[in-house]
């Protein structure tokens, strides 16, 4: 075992880090046994982290990728977006317990293609990553603050070394809200997911992200099923 359990899990790609995880979450369950989650993505992000820079983590969850990035170098910085209250509390706890508060700034907002309020539906309590933005109100939906990456980062000319988006099918909207950053070449590497059933629900075309990124000079590759990597060419 690579872990002291779900209260202090060790990470393969960030050996100094000890994370609190959810024992009921299927994604979290692989980390105590293996030390990692989403191996192809983890390897690439950990490798890029060694070169340093700013990492923007959209849908940070409990902070797995944020902690990997920040722990790689003392001068690495992270802006982590997370809107689910329980996840936000766990994210803050993992940052504090690993003494990474100086490097990781947390923003408790959803990220999309517009700023304002958005409808959000929580998933099952046992699954930390199943909640997401929805188009119509219904059972279990609440209003949450939403921002765009363009508006949040407009006052800086800093290059984003890596942008990671994992927001349950609305990843394309997050990219659409970063068009000024993309057009200016201020994002070097991008990791995002395609979640077909959620994209159908939201009316998002499967090819929309690819067309957007190609139009701004990015080369796109699927690095594992549903997981995409793009870099500026």
200 to 29, 159, 203, 213: CA distances (angstroms): 28, 33, 5, 20
Q: What are the pLDDT tens digits along the chain (233 aa)?
A: 444 589 999 999 999 999 999 999 999 999 999 999 999 999 999 999 999 999 999 999 999 999 999 999 999 999 999 999 999 999 999 999 999 999 999 999 999 999 999 999 988 888 887 889 988 888 889 999 999 999 999 778 899 999 999 999 999 999 999 999 999 999 999 999 999 999 999 999 999 999 999 999 999 999 999 999 999 98
What does the domain layout of the chain look like in residue ranges? 37-232
pLDDT at position 149: 98
**Distance between CA 182 and CA 93 in Å, rounded?**
32
Q: What is the 3-class SS of 96-114, one letter each residue?
A: HHCCCCCCEEEECCEECCC
pLDDT at position 138: 83
pLDDT at position 1: 40
8 A C-beta contact, residue 223 and residue 229? yes
pLDDT at position 128: 87
The residue among 123, 224, 230, 131 whose CA lies nearest residue 187 is 230
**Distance between CA 104 and CA 28 in Å, rounded?**
21
- Domain 37-232 fold is Rossmann fold (3.40.50)
For the beta sheet containing 160-165, the strands, ordered from the edge strand earlier in sequence to the opposite edge, are: 104-107, 77-81, 54-58, 160-165, 187-193, 227-232, 218-224
pTM (2 d.p.): 0.96
pLDDT at position 155: 79
For 216, half-sphere exposure in the C-beta direction (CA atoms, 13 angstrom radius) is: 24
The residue among 45, 11, 14, 61 whose CA lies nearest residue 229 is 45
What is the DSSP-derived secondary structure letter of residue 36?
Answer: -
pLDDT at position 6: 94
pLDDT at position 170: 96
Structure-block tokens of residue 231:
């870099």
Q: What's the first-to-final CA gap in the chain, in angstroms? A: 40
pLDDT at position 2: 47
**Rg of the chain (C-alpha set):** 17
- Which of left, alpha, beta for 59 (phi over 0: left; psi -120 to 50: alpha)? left
pLDDT at position 156: 82
pLDDT at position 4: 59
pLDDT at position 178: 97
Bridge partners of 160, per DSSP, are 54, 187
pLDDT at position 207: 96
**Distance between CA 94 and CA 218 in Å, rounded?**
33
């Amino acid at each position: 075992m690579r872990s002291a359990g779900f209260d202090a899990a060790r990470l393969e790609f960030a050996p100094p880090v000890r994370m609190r995880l959810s024992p009921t979450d299927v994604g979290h369950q692989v980390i105590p046994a293996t030390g990692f989650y989403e191996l192809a993505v983890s390897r690439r992000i950990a490798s890029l982290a060694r070169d340093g820079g700013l990492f923007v983590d959209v849908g940070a969850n409990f902070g797995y990728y944020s902690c990997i990035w920040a722990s790689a170098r003392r001068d690495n910085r992270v802006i982590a977006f997370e809107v689910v209250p329980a996840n936000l509390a766990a994210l803050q706890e993992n940052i504090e317990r690993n003494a990474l508060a100086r490097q990781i700034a947390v923003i408790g907002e959803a990220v999309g293609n517009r700023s304002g309020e958005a409808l959000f539906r929580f998933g099952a309590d046992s699954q930390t990553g199943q909640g997401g933005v929805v188009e119509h109100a219904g059972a279990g939906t609440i209003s949450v603050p939403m921002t765009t990456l363009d508006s949040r980062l407009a006052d800086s000319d800093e290059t984003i070394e890596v942008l990671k988006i994992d927001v349950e099918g609305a990843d394309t909207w997050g990219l659409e809200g970063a068009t000024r950053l993309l057009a200016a070449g201020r994002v070097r590497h991008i990791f995002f997911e395609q979640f077909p059933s959620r994209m159908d629900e939201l009316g998002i075309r499967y090819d929309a992200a690819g067309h957007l990124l190609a139009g701004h000079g990015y080369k796109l590759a699927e690095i594992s099923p549903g997981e995409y990597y793009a870099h500026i060419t």
